[in-house]
A and B are shown apart, each in its own frame.
Chain A
Amino acid sequence: MLSSLGSGGGKTAKPSFVSYVTPEEIKSEKEPYKKENQPDLLPGEVVFCSACPVLKYSQDDMSQRGVFGTLLCTNFRVSFVSDEVQVEETCKLFKNKLYGENDIPLACVDNIYGGYEDKKKLITGGLLKNKYPSKIIVHCKDLRVFQFSLTYSKEEDAKKLCFTGVLDHNNVVMKTYLRSSSIDNNAVCFVEMQRKERTMLFDCLEDWTQDMKRTKGNCRLVTENSSFELSQKLPQFFIVPLNVTDEDLVKFQGNGLPMWCWSHHSGCALFKTASLPLMLTAVAHNHLYSVKTEDLSDTLPTIQDIQLSYNKFKQFFLIDNTTEFWMSDMKWFSSLENCGWLDMIRQCLLKAVEVVECLEKENTNVLIMEESGSDLCCVISSLVQLMLDPHYRTLLGFQSLVQKEWVAGGHAFLDRSNQLHLKEKVESQSPVFLLFLECVWQLHQQHGPAFQFSETYLTVLSDSVHVPVFATFLFNNDSHRANVLRAESPSSQRGPLNCPSVWDWSVQFDCRAQDLFTNPLYAQKTKQDRSQRKSHRPKHQRQLSLPSSAFKTPTKKGFFKDEADSLKKILGVKRISRWMLSPSSDFPPMSSIKEFYETWQAKPLDYHGMLLPCLDGPSIRVWMQRYLRWIHDVQILGGGPVAVLSKVSELLAEVQELRSELDRHARTVTSNHRGAIRTRAKTAPENLARSSVRLSSSFPFVTSRNWSFKPAIPTSMLQSLMMSEVAGDLASREDDGSEPETVV
C-alpha cells in the first residue's frame, strides 16, 4: 500500500516520498501510483523503490544545475521522472516506446559510481551499506551518462535505491522480469510474420532449406536435433556436409561438426566448427576441392582481449564533465590507438577478406574454427557473407543473417552481455556482437549505397542488445531459449512464453521512426544489373559435372582419426593464416591480400557484387553516431550526416513527386480529363530538410531543443604540450625567417 509520511528526520525539507512496497501490492493497487510521478509502466513492470526529490544534473555544462524529480527503480529500468511539467516534445520523431530519454533499462546499466565529495567510486554490492554517496553516476551500455544528486531525498530511500534497488535487484530482477515479460504478446503485433517477405528466423526447417536453395548449396540438413536429442549445444536445425552420417552426428555431439554457413556460387562453401577439426575430411569430400582450415584463435583476439579493449575504448565516451572531455581531446589519437579497439575491427575485417579471397579467387572450401564455434566464427562468417552476398545487405537479409549465424548459430548472447550482472559470468562477458556491428559499420561507411539499412539502424540494433525484452538477445542458444521459455511460462494455458523478436521494430518504434532505418542512397538492384551479373560469371557450376557421390567413400570406423593426417596431405589442406606472421619477416605477408584488394579496386564498382573494405590506417574510423551522440560538446549543430540525409531525402521526394506528376499528366493528356485538384501533402523527408538547420550530428538520438546555439570552445589549449615536443627553437623564431639558421 502506498503510504505518505511526514518529514521524518531527513535533513532536507522536502517531505514526500514513496515507500518501498512489494511487487504484489503494487500489482493490486495500481491506481494510486498513476497520480504520482511515474513513468508509464509496461505490462508486467513493477516499481521496487523510489526516491524523491532527486536532482538530475544537466549533462551539457559543468554547473550544478539540473532538474528535480523522482528516481524509481522497477523490474525493468531505472527511471527518472521530472517534477517539471513535461513540455510536449513536439518533434520527438525518434521516441522509443519501451523507454524514454530518462530511463535506463536495467540490462543497459553498465556501471554505477558513487560520488563521495571529490572522489568517484565504483559501487559494488559489497560496499559499506551505511555510507551512501551524495551523488550517483550511472554509465549506460549505450554510452549515456546520468548524474543524480541524492542529497535532497530521504536517506533511507536513497540507500534503498542505491543498494537494494539498482544493484542487488539487478540479478533477481531479470528473472522476475523474464517471467512477467510476456508483455502481453497479443498486444505485440507480428505483422512482419505474416508478410511474404520476412526476416528468416532459422528456427524452422523451411528457413534453412530456403537459404541453402538460394545459395545453391548441396549439403545435408539435419533434423535429428529438433528436440535437442543430439546435443544441447547444437541448434535445432543445422546443415552439415553431405557425407556426414548419422553415426557421426551421434559420435561427435556437436564438437568438430562442420556446420554449413554459406555456399559460394562456384560450389565451394564456408563452414564453421567448434573445437578441433576432426571432421575435416567430410568437408573436403563434399566438394572435391581442397579445404582450407583456419583456427581463428591463432590470429584473432580472444573474447577477453575484446572485452578489455572495449572497456578502455568506451571510457573515452563516458564523459562526466566538459573539462575531462577537452583534456582527453589532446591525446585522442594515441589513446585511441592504445586501446586497440580499431585494430581489432581491422583484424576481423582482414580475416574476413582472407576467407573471401579463398572462396572467390581460389574456390576452395573454408572451415573456420575456434573453441566455442560461436564467437569469432560468427563474426567472420557473417562478415564474409556480407561481403560476398548482396542479399544480406538488404534490411531483411541482414536480419536473417544475424538470426542464422548468431541466434541459431548459438552465440551466447546472455553470457556475453552478462545482462544479469552475475559475478561468475564476468569472465565470459565480451562485446563480440558489437564488434561485428562495428565491422559492418566500417563496410557501410565505405560503401554506403550497397546497404539497404542505415547507420541509425545499426546504432539502434547495438542499443537493443541491452533492452531485455527481446528473445533474440536473451539466451545462450536454441535449447536454452526453449527451456527458459517453457519453464517460465506464467500459465500453462497460454502456452510457452513468447518474447518478441528484436526484428519486430514496432515494439520499439513507430513507422515514421522506422523510416530512418533505411538508407535513401541504397542502390536498388535493377533488372539490367541482374543480366549483367549473369554474364559476369561463366566459370561456375563445374563441380556439378562431378557429382560428389562419385567421390564418396564409405566411411569406416576410425577413418577420421587415423587417416586425417594423410588425407590432409592428399587434399592439400593449407593454413591460411599467413598475414599475421611476425612483422619482421622479410616477405610481406600482406601482399596476397593487398593484391586481391587492388585487383578488385581496379574494377568498376558493383554494389551488388563483392565488397571489400579498405583497411589502411585512415579508413578504419570511429563510429561517431554511436559513440558521440550524447556528448554535448561535439554536436555539430546544423551539420553532420543528417544534413546529407535530409538533402537526399528531399531530392528523392521530389523525384518521386515528379514521377507521379508525369503519370498524372500522361493520364490527363490521353483522356483530356482535367480538374483533378493537386494537393501536395508534404512528405516527412521534406519537412526534415527544412528543419535540418536545427538538427545536429547526433540526430536522431538527441534533439537539440534545450541546447543553446553556442559553440563549444575547448577549455584547455595545448601550448604546453606543443612547446615541449616541437623543436623549441622553431617555436620561438620570428615569422620573417630572417635568422640565418636553416631548418629543412
Chain B
Amino acid sequence: LSFNTWVCPSLSYLWPTVGYSDQWDDLNKRFSPPLTAKDVTYICPYIGALRGTLTVTNYRLFFKCTDREPVFVLDLPLGVVSRVEKIGGASSRGEVSYGLVCKDIRNLRFAHKQMEDSLRKSIFEVLMKFAFPVSNGLPIFAFEYGQVYPENGWKVYDAQAEYKRQGLPNESWRITKVNDHYELCDTYPSTLVVPVNISDEELKRVAAFRAKGRIPVLSWIHPESQATVTRCSQPMVGVNGKRSKDDEKYLQAIMDANAQSHKLFIFDARPSVNAAANKMKGGGYESEDAYQNAELVFLDIHNIHVMRESLRKLKEVVYPNIEESHWLSNLESTHWLEHIKLILAGALRIADKVESGKTSVVVHCSDGWDRTAQLTSLAMLMLDGHYRTIRGFQVLLEKEWLSFGHRFQLRIGHGDKNHTDADRSPVFLQFIDCVWQMTRQFPAAFEFNEYFLVTTLDHLYSCLFGTFLCNSEQQRVKEEVPKKTVSLWAYINSQLEEFTNPLYVNYSNHVLFPVVSMRHLELWVGYYIRWNPRMRPQEPVHQRYKELLAKRAELQKRVEELQREVTNRSASSERAGSPTRSITPVQTFV
C-alpha cells in the first residue's frame, strides 16, 4: 500500500494526460517526453532507502520502487517544489544526493551513483527547469494542461449573480462600474458594491486616501439587519495625521446604510504597534476624532513574515518525525495555533458585531489583501450558510481571495526558484486551516469534507489548474487564464461525491460561532502530518457514514420500487397518503 498515492489519488488519475508542448525550443524537447533514470535511491524517512526508477516530466516527479511489496510510488507535482539542492559532493561510495524542499510540509531526498554522471546531471537540470518554469522563461504547466472536464469551473463565480443572491443592489447599495478597466484600483475586481449616495467621482478621491487605492467596498450584507461587512486598505494618515473629508463621508455613508445601528466598527487586523509604525510610511489607522461614531479595534494578527517563520518552525516539529516527549511544548513554541486562534478570534468578533450587534463593520490591515481576506471570508463563513456548501465555498474563495487580489503568485511563488523571497507567506494555508478548525467544531455544518480542503491546498501549489495563478483579477484577465487554463473547480465539481461530507445537514440561517480557545484548537494532522504513515487512520470514519448513506439509498430505492408495484396493482383503490412523501425530506448525497 503506497501512501503517497493514497493521499492524492487525483494526481495519479491525471497521469496519462500529461504531455509536452511543441512550442518549446529544441533544448526543452530533449527532455520531454519524460526523462527516466534507473537505479535511483529515494531515502524515505519512514521506510528507509528505496531503490527504483525516477521519472521527471514537465509536470511531475514520479518514483517507483517495485522491489518491495506493496509497490512504492511517489508522485509529486513539480509545483510543490520550493527548492532543489545538492547535498554535499560525491560520497565515499560514489553517490551524489540531492534534496527537494517542498511547499507541502515535506522534504524528499534522492541519491544517484556517480557513474551515471551525465544522466544525473540531466535529471538535476530537468528538475530545476520544470520545477521553476517562471525563472526559466517557460510557461507554467497549467497552460499546457489539456484535460477536458464536463463543467467549466470558471463559471462558478459570477460577481453579479453573487451580489444578487445577497439582495444587491438595493436602496442603500449600488453596483459600480468605475473599476471596469481596473483604473480606480488595479488589484480590485471590476465589479464593486458601494453606498448609493457616493458618486464615482467621490470614489476616486477616496481611493487617493486609501493605500493602493483599495477603497472600502461591500463584501457581505446581512439579509435582515442590513448590517454589512466592508473591506479596504489602511488610510494614508501618515505622521501628520492627514484627513480626508471624502473618506470620512464615505464611512459615514456605510454606517448610514444600516438603519439598525448608529455605530460603525473598524477592525484593524494588525497589532496596534504595527499600525502605528505604518504612519512612518504614510499609512496608519482611522483616528476616532476624525471618524465620529466609529470605534476602532485592533485584532493583533501578525504580518506575513511572522507567519512564514511560524510555519517553518512547525515543519521542523512535525517533519519527518515527532518528538514524542515534548510534542505539546514544541507545538506551542511554533505559535502556529496561536496565530490560528487570533485569526479566528478576529473573525468571530466581526461576525458577532454584525450578527448580535447588528452593526456594520469595516475591516482592513495594511493593504487589505492578506489578513483582511482571512477575516472577511471567515466571518462570512460564520454568518452565511451558503458559503458552507461546496459551490458556495468556491464562490467565497473566488470573491474574497481571488477577485479582491490576494497575491497568490507572490505569496506562493509559483514556478519561481527564489525560495527566500520575503513575499512568500502561508496566508491562504492559514485560512484553510481556520476553516478546518471550524469543520472540526461543527462536523455537520459544512457540505465539503477534509479531503476537499486538502485537495484545494494541494492544487494551490501543483500548478495544474489556473485558479491560483497570478496576483489579481486584472492579471488573470490579461494572461487570459480563464481561457487558457482549467479551473480547479472543474475538476472538483466533476466528482463531487469525493468531496462531500456525508454528515452535512443544511441548517438555513444558522450562524456558527466557533470556540476560539486553545482547548478546542488542534493541529491539522490530516494535512501537516499526513506524510507520516503512522498517523494515518486505517479506515476513515466517514467510510462508515458513507456505508450508512448507501444503505439508506438502497432501501429507499427498494421501497420506491415496491411502492410503484403496489400502486400499479391497486390502481382503482382509495388513495392513502403517499408513502414516498413520508419517507424523508432529507437530501441524499449518495
Contact = CB atoms under 8 A, between A and B. Distances in A.
Interface of A: 325-326, 329-334, 336-338, 342-343, 346, 448-449, 521, 523, 583, 594, 597-598, 601-605, 614-619, 621-622, 624, 628, 633-641, 643-644, 646-648, 650-652, 654-655, 657-659, 661-662, 665-666, 668-669, 672, 674-675, 677-678, 680, 689, 692-693, 697, 709-714, 717-719, 721-723, 725-727, 730-737, 739, 741-744
B227 to A, nearest CB: 16
B17 interface: no
B352 A743 contact: no
A601, A689, A697 interface centre (most CB from chain B within 10 Å) = A601
B146 to A, nearest CB: 35
Contacts of B444: 639, 643-644, 646-647, 692
Given A521-B544, A650-B586, A662-B558, A639 B322 contact: no
Contacts of B586: 650, 654
A618 B513 contact: no
Contacts of B363: none
B533 A617 contact: no
Interface stretch (B115-123, B328-336, B391-399): B328-336
Nearest to A617: B327
Contact of A659 (B370, B503, B555): B555
B30 interface: no
A636 B444 CA distance: 13
Interface of B: 1, 271, 273-274, 277, 281, 300, 302-306, 308-310, 312, 322-329, 331-333, 335, 337-338, 341-342, 345, 348-349, 351-352, 356, 365-367, 370, 419-423, 441-445, 503, 505, 507, 510, 512-520, 522-523, 525, 529, 532-536, 538-539, 541, 544-545, 548-549, 551-552, 555-556, 558-559, 562-563, 565-566, 569-570, 573, 576-577, 579, 582-584, 586
Given A638-B445, A665-B562, A731-B303, A658 B583 contact: yes
- Decide if the interface of chain B is mainly helix, strand, loop or mixed: helix
Contacts of A655: 548, 551-552, 555
Given A647-B503, A714-B516, A730-B306, A336 B300 contact: no
B355 to A, nearest CB: 9
Q: Which 8 A-B pairs have the closest CB atoms?
A: A617-B327, A737-B422, A711-B513, A658-B555, A332-B518, A605-B538, A337-B328, A639-B442
A406 B516 CA distance: 39
Contact of A732 (B277, B325, B351, B555): B277
A557 B419 CA distance: 78
Contacts of A666: 562
23 contacts: A329-B517, A337-B329, A449-B544, A601-B536, A604-B538, A604-B539, A614-B535, A616-B324, A617-B323, A634-B517, A636-B441, A654-B586, A665-B559, A665-B565, A678-B577, A711-B515, A718-B300, A719-B271, A721-B338, A726-B302, A734-B303, A736-B367, A739-B422
A618 B535 contact: yes
A617 B318 CA distance: 10
B519 A628 contact: yes
Contact of B274 (A342, A343, A641, A731): A731
A602 B277 CA distance: 55
Contacts of B533: 598, 601
A702 to B, nearest CB: 14
Contacts of A712: 515-517
B442 A713 contact: no
A722 B335 contact: yes
Contacts of A692: 444, 505
Contacts of B522: 618, 621
Nearest to A597: B534
A744 B306 contact: no
A528 to B, nearest CB: 14
A326, A644, A672 interface centre (most CB from chain B within 10 Å) = A644
B421 A722 contact: no
A743 B329 contact: no
A332 B519 contact: yes
B222 to A, nearest CB: 15
B517 A333 contact: no
Contact of A601 (B328, B337, B342, B534): B534
B335 A725 contact: yes
Contacts of A661: 555, 559, 579, 583
A605 B366 contact: no
Given A635-B515, A652-B548, A669-B562, A662 B555 contact: yes
A744 B518 contact: no
Given A618-B327, A731-B274, 4 more contacts: A622-B519, A648-B545, A672-B569, A714-B345
B539 A733 contact: no
Nearest to B419: A744
Nearest to B559: A661
Contacts of B342: 717-718
A579 to B, nearest CB: 11
A650, A710, A727, A737 interface centre (most CB from chain B within 10 Å) = A737
A618 B573 contact: no
Contact of A658 (B277, B331, B335, B552): B552
Contacts of A665: 559, 562-563, 565-566
A710 B357 CA distance: 10
A740 to B, nearest CB: 9
Contact of B349 (A331, A597, A644, A713): A713
A602 B309 CA distance: 35
A35 to B, nearest CB: 43
A601 B503 contact: no
A450 to B, nearest CB: 11
A732 B272 CA distance: 11
Given A678-B579, A734-B366, A726 B519 contact: no
A651 B548 contact: yes
A743 B309 contact: yes
Contacts of B558: 658, 662
Contacts of B519: 329, 332, 622, 624, 628, 634
B420 A742 contact: yes
Contacts of B309: 726-727, 730, 743
Contacts of B332: 331-334
Given A336-B328, A337-B329, A636-B441, A662 B512 contact: no
Contacts of A622: 519
Nearest to A590: B324
A734 B270 CA distance: 11
A411 to B, nearest CB: 29
B431 to A, nearest CB: 16
A351 B563 CA distance: 57
B351, B423, B519 interface centre (most CB from chain A within 10 Å) = B519
Contact of B305 (A521, A648, A730): A730
Contacts of A723: 271, 273
B553 to A, nearest CB: 10
Contacts of B566: 665, 668-669, 674
Contact of A644 (B281, B443, B565): B443
A189 B300 CA distance: 60
A325 B517 CA distance: 9
A655 B365 CA distance: 51
A616 B503 CA distance: 28
B84 to A, nearest CB: 15
B556 A616 contact: no
A641 B338 CA distance: 24
A597 B351 CA distance: 45
Nearest to B345: A714
Contacts of B569: 669, 672
B552 A733 contact: no
Contacts of A597: 534
Contact of B503 (A618, A644, A669): A644
A689 B505 contact: yes
A735 B371 CA distance: 10
A734 B1 contact: no
A615 B535 CA distance: 9
Contacts of B523: 618
